[in-house]
Amino acid sequence: MADIVLEELSKRFPNGFEAVKRLSLAIGESELLVLVGPSGCGKTTALRMIAGLEDITSGELFIGGRRMNDVLERDRDIAMVFQNYALYPHMTVAQNIAFSLRLGKVPKHEIRERVRETATLLGLEGLLDRRPKQLSGGQKQRVAMGRAIVRQPQVFLMDEPLSNLDAQLRVQMRGEIEALQKRLGVTTVYVTHDQVEALTMGDRIAVLRDGELQQVGGPAEVYDRPANLFVAGFIGSPPMNLAHGTVEANGATAIRLGATTLPVPDEVAREHGLDAYRGRRVIVGVRPEDLHGPESGNGHGPARLPAAIDRVESVGASLLVHFAVDAPDAKSAALAAMTGGEALEATQLAGGAGSSFCASFEPRSGIRVGDALEVAVDTARLHFFDPETERTTRPSSP
Amino acid sequence: MSAVEAVAAAPGRRLRRRHRTVGALPKLTALLILAVIVLMPVYVLVVTSLKTVTETDVSHAWSLPGVWTTEAWSEAWRQLSPYLENSMELVIPATVLSTLLGSLNGFVLSKWRFPGADVVFTFFLFGMFIPYQAVMIPLAQLFDHVSFPQGIPRLIFAHVVYGIPITALIFRNYYATIPNDLMEAARMDRAGMFRTFWSVVLPISMPAFVVAAIWQFTSIWNDFLFAVFVVTDPNQWPVTVALNNVTGSMVTPYNLQMAAALLASLPTLLVYVLLGRYFMRGLMAGALKG
C-alpha cells in the first residue's frame, strides 16, 4: 500500500479555466479520503490528475514516495471506479474483471483464481457469464468494484461511484464499499458531491470549492469545527443556519441577532476569540439540531429565540421547523449561488431583510404552522465567522 | 402509462388508426405511382433479359416474352464470369482494407485524440469532395513513377485511399456515441492505444463496419471511371468495364445486355438484402443514445 502526496497541484485547461488551484493534500497509507464539493469544484479533475488521465499543469504528485507527474497512467498501479461503471459491453462479467490481468500477462490459472476470489468477495459468483446489459445497477457497480479490486493495486480512485444508484441501494453500497476498503486496506480517494456520503465514509474529508481546498479533517472535525462559511453551509443537512449578528461591546459576552440578545458563556467566547470582535459584526451559525423546542425542557441555558413558525416538515425521525429571524441572512455568496432557489425562498419567507432558520425538533412535538414559541439555543454549539474573510473566528484555527 | 390506462385508451386508439388509414389513401396512391415509375425500367430490364434476341425490338419492349428463355443469361454469364471474378478480387480486399483503415482513423479522431485531430478531420472531409477526374492523371503518373503493380492492385489502392474520408467519417461518428469512460477504463486497466482499439473498440464496432462495408462494397463495385482508366489489361477489367463491351455477332443483343447488366448488379443487390437492416441500424446508431 502507498501514501499519496499532492503538493500544490494545479490544473489549467487550454481554455484558461483553472479547475484545481494549488491543492496540497497528504493521504495516508490505507486511508479513505473523500474529496467533496459542489459540482464544478475541481474534485473530479483532481482525481483524474492522480489517475494520470489528466496532465498536471503545475505542482507535484507522489504515490508511495515516487514522483508520478510524468509516469503513464498504466504504470501508476492505480485502479479506478467510474461513475457510469464503464464496463466493457461485449465482455462477460468474468472477462471484464480479468481484462487488466490479461493485459498484465498474469498466468491463466492465476487469473481464474483471482477472478473467482473477487467474485466471491462481491457476491458475483452466479453472474460471471452475464454481460453488463443483463445486470442491474447495483450488480454493475459491484463488477466495476471487482475490476478494481482484482488488480490488487496500490491505490483505488472512485469517481462518484454511487451516484447512479437509487437511494436505498446507495446506502447499502456505501457500507459495502467502506467495509471492503477497510478489509483490503488499499489507500483510496473517493470523490462525491454528496456530503452525507462524505461524512459517513471518509476517514478524512477534503472540502473543495472552485478548485481550492477549504478544509481537510475527520468527519466530526469538519462538521463541528467548519473552517469557513462555505464548509459550514455545505456540510450538514439540513444546512447550518447562518445570520449576521453583533457582539455586544460591553459587559458579559452576548450576541445580538436582530432584536434578540443571546448570552454566550465565557469559555465559548474565549474558544471563538469573540473578545476581538466586541462591538463588531460577526456571522453566527447554529445547526438545526442545536435548536430545541419547548418540549425538551429547560436544560439548554437561558438563550432563547422568539419564533413564529412558518413551515413544518416531517422527515420521519425529526420535525423540521422553519421560522423567520430578523437578522440579515449570511449564506456565503458561493453557497447562495449553489442553492439559489432555496436562498431566495428563505429571503422571501423572512420578509426580505431577515433570514429563515430551520430547527430539528422531536417528531411528535406537535408544533404547527402559526405557533409562536421560544426556541432554546445551545450556545455551546454556536459557530462564529468573520464577515470579511468568511473564516471562523477561532484564533487557533489554521 | 399504466396497464389500466392502456386498456382504457385502446378503443380510442383503434378508431384513430382506422381514421389514419383512410386519410393516408391519397398518400399511399401517390407513393405507389412513384414506385411504379421507378420500377418500370427494371421491368423492361428483366423482361428483355428473358427474351430471345429476335423478340427484342423497341416496339415490343413492354410485352412479355413470347418464348421464355434464359439463353441470354447463360451467354452473359459465359462472357462476364471472369470479370465478375476480377471484381470480387478487387472489391473484397479493397472493402476490408478501407473499413479497417476507416475504423482506425475514426478511433484516433474521436477517442484517442491527438493535438490537431479536428484539423486533420477537416482535411479528410475535403477529400470526399475531390472528384475522381481531378486525380486520375496524377494518380496514374504516381503509379508509373513508383512502378506500382499493374491492374487490380492499382485499383485496390486507389479505392482504399479514396474510401478513407467516408469510412473515417462513418466510424468517427459512430465512435462519438461510445462513452469516453470506456476508453479511460481501458487506460486504467493498462491498455495502450492498439490494445484499447483491438480489445475494447473493435468488438463493439459491428454496426459501423456494416455501414462502411456496404457503402464501400457498392461504390467500388459500381465504379467505372477509375477502372477504365487505371486498368489497361483487358484481362483484369472489373465487371463494370467488361459490361460496356458485351457484344453479339450481328445485331445489338438487347437481351444479352440486359441480362449482363442484371448479373453485374446482383452482388450489390445481395449485399443490401442481406445486410440492409444492419445498415439502417448502423445509420441510426448515432442518432439515438444507448
Task: Kindly report which listed range (A238-242, A335-339, B86-90) carries the lowest average pLDDT score.
Answer: A335-339
Which chain A residue lies closest to B115 (C-alpha atoms)?
Answer: A14
Could you give phi then psi for residue A372, rounded to 5 degrees? -115, 125
Residues of B in contact with A79 (CB under 8 A): 188
Closest by Cβ to A73, choosing from B187, B195, B199: B187
Kind plus residue range of the DSSP H or E element containing A46 = helix A43-51
Q: How far is CA B66 from CA A227, B62, B256, in A?
A: 99, 12, 16
Dist. CA B187–CA B182, nearest whole Å: 9
**What strands lie across the sheet with A241-247, from one edge to the other?**
A260-263, A254-257, A241-247, A281-286, A383-385
User: Does residue A345 have a pLDDT over 90?
Assistant: no
Q: Which residues contact B131 (CB under 8 A, 6 or more apart)?
A: none
Look at A99 and B189 and tell me if their CB atoms are within 8 Å.
yes
Residues of B in contact with A100 (CB under 8 A): 188-190
Output the pLDDT for position B60.
78
Look at A103 and B204 and tell me if their CB atoms are within 8 Å.
no
Burial class (CB in 10 A: 0-12, 13-18, 19+), B213: buried
Nearest Cα residue to B98 out of B230, B211, B20: B211
Look at A80 and B185 and tell me if their CB atoms are within 8 Å.
yes
Q: How far is CA B211 from CA B111, B173, B243, B266, in A?
A: 19, 12, 27, 19
Look at A80 and B184 and tell me if their CB atoms are within 8 Å.
yes
Using pLDDT thresholds of 50, 70 and 90, give the confidence band for residue A339: low
A263 with A252: CB under 8 angstroms?
Answer: yes
User: Does residue B7 have a pLDDT over 80?
Assistant: no
Question: Between these two residues, B55 and A264, which has the higher pLDDT value?
Answer: A264
Look at B190 and A90 and tell me if their CB atoms are within 8 Å.
no
Residues on chain B bordering chain A, Cβ-to-Cβ distance under 8 angstroms: 179, 181-182, 184-192, 195, 199-200, 203-204
A201 with A190: CB under 8 angstroms?
Answer: yes
How much is the average pLDDT of A190-216?
Answer: 94
Mean per-residue pLDDT over chain A, rounded:
89
Helix (H, G, I), strand (E, B) or coil at A172: helix
Output the pLDDT for position B289.
37
User: Does residue A156 have a pLDDT over 90?
Assistant: yes
Look at B185 and A82 and tell me if their CB atoms are within 8 Å.
yes
Output the pLDDT for position B254.
83
Look at B195 and A89 and tell me if their CB atoms are within 8 Å.
no
Using pLDDT thresholds of 50, 70 and 90, give the confidence band for residue B102: very high
Output the pLDDT for position B8.
43
User: Does residue B20 have a pLDDT over 80?
Assistant: no
Query: pLDDT above 70 covers what percent of chain B?
Result: 87
Integer Rg of chain B from CA = 25
Look at A53 and B187 and tell me if their CB atoms are within 8 Å.
yes
Which chain B residue lies closest to A74 (C-alpha atoms)?
Answer: B190
Q: Which three cell numbers stand for residue A119?
A: 467474485
Look at A100 and B189 and tell me if their CB atoms are within 8 Å.
yes
Output the pLDDT for position A332.
55
Closest by Cβ to A80, choosing from B188, B203, B204: B188
Cβ-Cβ pairs closer than 8 A, A with B, add up to: 54
User: Does residue B5 have a pLDDT over 80?
Assistant: no
Which chain A residue lies closest to B190 (C-alpha atoms)?
Answer: A74
Nearest Cα residue to A238 out of A376, A385, A384, A360: A360
**In angstroms, how far is the first alpha carbon of chain B from the final one?**
22
Q: Which residues contact A100 (CB under 8 A, 6 or more apart)?
A: A79, A147, A150, A151, B188, B189, B190
Q: Which residues contact B78 (CB under 8 A, 6 or more apart)?
A: none
Q: Which long-range contacts (CB under 8 A, 24 or more apart) does B79-85 make?
A: B79/B242, B79/B246, B79/B256, B79/B260, B80/B239, B80/B242, B80/B243, B80/B246, B80/B260, B80/B263, B80/B264, B82/B235, B83/B237, B83/B238, B83/B239, B83/B241, B83/B242, B83/B243, B84/B239, B84/B263, B84/B264, B84/B267
Dist. CA A97–CA A115, nearest whole Å: 6
Look at B190 and A88 and tell me if their CB atoms are within 8 Å.
no
Residues of B in contact with A82 (CB under 8 A): 181, 184-185
Q: Which residues contact B288 (CB under 8 A, 6 or more apart)?
A: none
User: Does residue A203 have a pLDDT over 60?
Assistant: yes
Mean per-residue pLDDT over chain B, rounded:
84
Output the pLDDT for position A300.
61
Instruction: Quickly count helices (H) and strands (E) in chain A.
Output: 11, 20
Closest by Cβ to B191, choosing from A82, A103, A147: A103
Dist. CA A72–CA B191, nearest whole Å: 11
Question: Between these two residues, A168 and A332, which has the higher pLDDT value?
Answer: A168
Query: pLDDT above 70 covers what percent of chain A?
Result: 92
- pLDDT tens digits, one per residue of B31-88: 999 999 999 999 999 998 888 888 877 787 788 888 888 888 998 898 889 999 999 9
- pLDDT tens digits, one per residue of A133-148: 999 988 999 999 999 9
Closest by Cβ to B188, choosing from A51, A84, A89: A51
User: Does residue A235 have a pLDDT over 90?
Assistant: yes
Q: What sign does the CA torsion over B162, B163, B165, B168 have?
A: negative
Per-residue DSSP letter, A16: S
User: Does residue B283 have a pLDDT over 50?
Assistant: yes
Using pLDDT thresholds of 50, 70 and 90, give the confidence band for residue A62: very high
Interface confidence (ipTM) of the complex: 0.82
Dist. CA A157–CA A76, nearest whole Å: 12
Nearest Cα residue to A261 out of A306, A291, A293: A306
Which chain A residue lies closest to B204 (C-alpha atoms)?
Answer: A90
- pLDDT tens digits, one per residue of B213-247: 999 999 999 999 998 888 888 888 999 888 888 76
User: Does residue B251 have a pLDDT over 90?
Assistant: no
Residues of A in contact with B184 (CB under 8 A): 51, 53, 80, 82, 86
Which chain B residue lies closest to A14 (C-alpha atoms)?
Answer: B115
Q: Which three cell numbers stand for residue B163?
A: 474510401
Burial class (CB in 10 A: 0-12, 13-18, 19+), A130: middle
Nearest Cα residue to A187 out of A143, A145, A141, A153: A153
User: Does residue B17 have a pLDDT over 60?
Assistant: no
Q: Which three cell numbers stand for residue A135?
A: 445486470
Helix (H, G, I), strand (E, B) or coil at A117: helix
**In angstroms, how far is the first alpha carbon of chain A from the final one?**
30
Distance of CA B240 to the CA centre of its chain: 15
The percent of chain A in helix, strand and coil, each rounded to the nearest 5, is 30, 30, 35
How much is the average pLDDT of A5-19?
Answer: 94
A335 with A233: CB under 8 angstroms?
Answer: yes
Look at B199 and A99 and tell me if their CB atoms are within 8 Å.
yes
Closest by Cβ to B182, choosing from A52, A88, A104: A88
Tell the residue number behind the cell numbers 473498440, with chain if given.
Answer: B201
Using pLDDT thresholds of 50, 70 and 90, give the confidence band for residue A385: very high
Q: Which of B182, B183, B184, B188 has the highest number of chain A CBs within 10 A, making it the mutation to test binding with A?
A: B188
Look at A99 and B181 and tell me if their CB atoms are within 8 Å.
no
Q: What sign does the CA torsion over B115, B118, B122, B128 have?
A: positive
B255 with B60: CB under 8 angstroms?
Answer: no
Kind plus residue range of the DSSP H or E element containing A314 = strand A304-314
Nearest Cα residue to A91 out of A42, A129, A35, A125: A129
Dist. CA B120–CA B100, nearest whole Å: 18
- pLDDT tens digits, one per residue of B83-99: 999 999 999 999 999 99
Output the pLDDT for position B10.
46
Looking at the complex, report in whole angstroms how far the Cα of residue A115 sits from the nearest Cα belonging to chain B: 15
Looking at the complex, report in whole angstroms how far the Cα of residue B110 sits from the nearest Cα belonging to chain A: 16
B189 with A77: CB under 8 angstroms?
Answer: no
HSE (CB half, 13 Å, CA atoms) of A198?
29
Residue A36: strand pairing partners: A192, A207
Tell the residue number behind the cell numbers 433479359, with chain if given.
Answer: B49
User: Does residue B1 have a pLDDT over 80?
Assistant: no
Residues of B in contact with A51 (CB under 8 A): 184, 188
Which chain A residue lies closest to B191 (C-alpha atoms)?
Answer: A103
Looking at the complex, report in whole angstroms how far the Cα of residue A68 sits from the nearest Cα belonging to chain B: 15
Which chain A residue lies closest to B185 (C-alpha atoms)?
Answer: A86
- pLDDT tens digits, one per residue of B192-211: 999 999 999 999 898 889 88
Looking at the complex, report in whole angstroms how far the Cα of residue B200 sits from the nearest Cα belonging to chain A: 7
Q: How far is CA A46 from CA A235, A374, B155, in A?
A: 20, 46, 52
Output the pLDDT for position B71.
86
User: Does residue B281 have a pLDDT over 70?
Assistant: no
Using pLDDT thresholds of 50, 70 and 90, give the confidence band for residue A333: low
Q: What sign does the CA torsion over B172, B173, B174, B176 have?
A: positive
Using pLDDT thresholds of 50, 70 and 90, give the confidence band for residue A350: very low
Residues of A in contact with B185 (CB under 8 A): 80, 82, 86-88, 147
